[in-house]
Amino acid sequence: MDSTMRKHAGERPSSQSSGCTVEVEEFDDLVSISLKPKSNEKYPAKPHAKLVAQKLGVKSGLIYLPGLREQNYEDSDMPVHWRQRRYFYYMSGINFSGCVVTYDIHRDSLYAWIPAPNVGSSVIFNGQVPSIQEVKAHYDFDDVRYISTLGSYLTNFVHYNPVDKIYQLHQYQAPKNVAREAILIDGRRSYLRDFPYDFTKLKPAMNAARVIKDDYEIRMIRRANLISAQAHTNVLKGIRHFENEAEIEAIFVATCVSEQAKEQSYGIIAGSGPNASVLHYVANNEPLKGRQLVCLDAGAEWKCYASDVTRTFPISGEFTKEAKEIYDLVAEMQESCIAMIKPGVDFGIIAENSVKVAVDGLIKLGLLQNGASEELYLSGVWRAFFPHGLGHHVGLEVHDVGDGSDRLNLLSGHRSANTWVAAYSNEHLDPVMPTGTTLLPNMVITIEPGIYFSRYALEDLFLKNARYAKFINQDLLAKYYPVGGVRIEDDILVTEDGYENLTTAPKGEEALKIINEGKDTTVEVTQRRFWLW
């Protein structure tokens, strides 16, 4: 898109309503224009399967992906909150439990294996599971069968394709007790545990496929962002009337659920005052009185696709001098980085820019001293104020997979988590940050710079180290501690010739206007009643 279109791509649609009316009609109209799927649209499972096979680089074999089963909490008859396995969902679109998907690469056959219908009291208590006919009608499979026949299918596959591999993500996901019969393989009796599994190649191949989003996936992420924008807006409208961080979380969740987005992409971070300096603060239970800012990091999930949005704003509707200085610096960091996004650019260069803008800004404010910009950049002292990476991929996971890098996978073929805690190995990089990634069209990444005033980081780590202490102006810190922290985060789609900002949540002057327009609004948030205006 041209520069004018790119500049305005992330702006919210203008509102014609005022006062306490929810802008439902405008919001729904916008969705109906570009986001509502056609009545016969199916999740693109088959194209995804073909792409994964292409990334595997093999002509034959079987991809085997089990969905997640339901289970109860320990020593309880209450179920654990269920969340579908994302790799399984990528090749199926199925969001109910107890299923398996297989893809015969040579025959180009994608099958879903579903539970048998409930009978007796199970129907009374739990309702009915989707039937074969319903799954065929609503999903993109070549065939749908009951999971009770999966064992025979697997044994026959191995019998007639003795040199082919069965590609799986993890050894612990290998099929168990799906078939009792034994078959002859190479002249000996063999059970499922002896099948020719490959646990090393599938995850990198699926990661390489997932990192580039198709049109359907982009629409889902866009929809998640629109719902998140409405929720952020409702928080801004009521923030001057809220007394506790919990009310921020409550209004955000209520707005999302009212739009049928019943899942959050991650735990809501609603940190006020010093809590804004805690990157993953999720307690959300402290009073707002006497505090300057709220850092609200919250994003709705839509049909298993994430959004990741952060806004920082003054509770009173007016920035203090110090808070305004830090907000403007973070805004400059973000805007300059977003402007660099286009295909072919190394994300590491963009991340480097964010740090250099931060260093220059902190020098101008007097918070960094006794060195030129380049010296302070190379020293790493900036990590006292900007301790995390610039961004990450967004998709089926909020910290979505990259291109097969071991930073996200740890060890191929073993259980791993796509979290910075699990993968942390380099003090200079947040491993969910796609540093070194060359941006390609249809990647979706976040740009989320931040500046924080963590007493622990500054006083217990950096100021106690002579290497860093000389560069930090300790006399000024007391003025900035009440700011807590500022982070601004948008989800950015890489286009053919630039970018599109998918995040439409208000920020900056627009956010301040909404806060101050809501100052005379009567908002009832007591007695467990929530009025969404």
Minimum mean pLDDT range among 160-164, 217-221, 432-436, 488-492:
432-436
Q: Are residues 348 and 487 in the same domain?
A: yes
Cα distance between the two ends of the chain: 35
Taking the C-alpha atoms of residue 6 and residue 441, their distance in angstroms, rounded to an integer, is: 15
Taking the C-alpha atoms of residue 446 and residue 338, their distance in angstroms, rounded to an integer, is: 9
Render pLDDT for 117-161 as a digit per residue (tens, 0 to 9). 988 898 899 899 999 999 999 999 999 999 999 999 998 999 899
Minimum mean pLDDT range among 9-18, 63-72, 322-331, 386-395:
9-18
Predicted confidence (pLDDT) at residue 526 exceeds the cutoff of 80: no
pLDDT band per the 50, 70, 90 thresholds, residue 13: very low
Q: Are residues 398 and 455 in the same domain?
A: yes
Taking the C-alpha atoms of residue 179 and residue 41, their distance in angstroms, rounded to an integer, is: 35
pTM of this structure? 0.86
pLDDT band per the 50, 70, 90 thresholds, residue 437: confident
Q: Are residues 157 and 226 in the same domain?
A: no
More confident residue, 428 or 183: 183
pLDDT band per the 50, 70, 90 thresholds, residue 33: very low
Count of beta carbons in the 10 Å neighbourhood of residue 311: 26
Domain boundary among 206, 231, 253: 206
Minimum mean pLDDT range among 304-313, 314-323, 398-407, 451-460:
398-407
pLDDT of residue 528: 35
Nearest to 55 by CA among 274, 184, 281, 208: 208
Taking the C-alpha atoms of residue 206 and residue 204, their distance in angstroms, rounded to an integer, is: 6
186 in a structural domain: yes
Question: By the 8 A CB rule, do 98 and 70 touch?
Answer: yes
Q: Are residues 189 and 303 in the same domain?
A: no
- Mapped to the 3 state alphabet, what secondary structure does 63-84 carry? EEEECCCCCECCCCCCECCCCC
Render pLDDT for 335-363 as a digit per residue (tens, 0 to 9). 999 999 999 999 999 999 999 999 999 99
pLDDT of residue 291: 99
pLDDT band per the 50, 70, 90 thresholds, residue 38: low
Nearest to 423 by CA among 435, 434, 411: 411
| Average pLDDT of the segment spanning 418-443 | 51
| Residue that has been written with the tokens 């920082």 in this structure | 312
163 in a structural domain: yes
pLDDT of residue 41: 82
11 in a structural domain: no
We report the CATH number of the domain holding residue 448 as: 3.90.230.10
Report helix, strand or coil for 383. helix
Q: Are residues 347 and 456 in the same domain?
A: yes
Predicted confidence (pLDDT) at residue 431 exceeds the cutoff of 90: no
Q: How many CA atoms lie within 13 A of 32 on its CB side?
A: 6
Question: By the 8 A CB rule, do 455 and 401 touch?
Answer: no
Taking the C-alpha atoms of residue 322 and residue 314, their distance in angstroms, rounded to an integer, is: 12
Domain boundary among 206, 235, 262: 206
Q: Check the CA dihedral 452-455-456-459 and report its sign.
A: positive
Q: Are residues 306 and 440 in the same domain?
A: yes
Q: Are residues 372 and 504 in the same domain?
A: yes
We report the CATH number of the domain holding residue 198 as: 3.40.350.10
Question: By the 8 A CB rule, do 145 and 135 touch?
Answer: no
pLDDT of residue 193: 55
Q: Are residues 448 and 303 in the same domain?
A: yes
Render pLDDT for 358-385 as a digit per residue (tens, 0 to 9). 999 999 999 999 999 999 999 999 999 9
Question: By the 8 A CB rule, do 47 and 201 touch?
Answer: no
pLDDT of residue 282: 98
pLDDT band per the 50, 70, 90 thresholds, residue 175: confident
H-type alpha helices, 77-167: 86-90, 121-126, 132-138, 150-160
Domain boundary among 156, 185, 206: 206
pLDDT band per the 50, 70, 90 thresholds, residue 521: low
Query: What is the number of structural domains in the chain?
Result: 2
Taking the C-alpha atoms of residue 306 and residue 300, their distance in angstroms, rounded to an integer, is: 6
Q: What angle do CA 384, 322, 472 make, to 5 degrees?
A: 30
Q: Write out the two tokens for 398.
A: 């909020």
pLDDT of residue 174: 85
Who's near 464: CB < 8 A, 6+ residues apart? none
Mean pLDDT across the chain: 85
What range does the domain containing 123 cover? 45-206
Predicted confidence (pLDDT) at residue 110 exceeds the cutoff of 70: yes
| Residue that has been written with the tokens 């309503």 in this structure | 17
Predicted confidence (pLDDT) at residue 116 exceeds the cutoff of 70: yes
| Average pLDDT of the segment spanning 500-506 | 99
319 in a structural domain: yes
Predicted confidence (pLDDT) at residue 23 exceeds the cutoff of 70: no
pLDDT band per the 50, 70, 90 thresholds, residue 428: very low
Q: Are residues 128 and 269 in the same domain?
A: no
| Average pLDDT of the segment spanning 32-59 | 80
Render pLDDT for 55-108 as a digit per residue (tens, 0 to 9). 999 999 999 999 999 999 999 999 999 999 999 999 999 999 999 999 999 999
Q: How many CA atoms lie within 13 A of 481 on its CB side?
A: 12
Taking the C-alpha atoms of residue 245 and residue 287, their distance in angstroms, rounded to an integer, is: 6
Q: Are residues 280 and 386 in the same domain?
A: yes
142 in a structural domain: yes
DSSP state of 201: S
Q: Are residues 310 and 368 in the same domain?
A: yes
486 in a structural domain: yes
Minimum mean pLDDT range among 18-32, 47-61, 307-321, 374-388:
18-32
| Average pLDDT of the segment spanning 166-189 | 64
Q: Write out the two tokens for 385.
A: 């104020």
Q: Are residues 226 and 189 in the same domain?
A: no
pLDDT of residue 338: 99
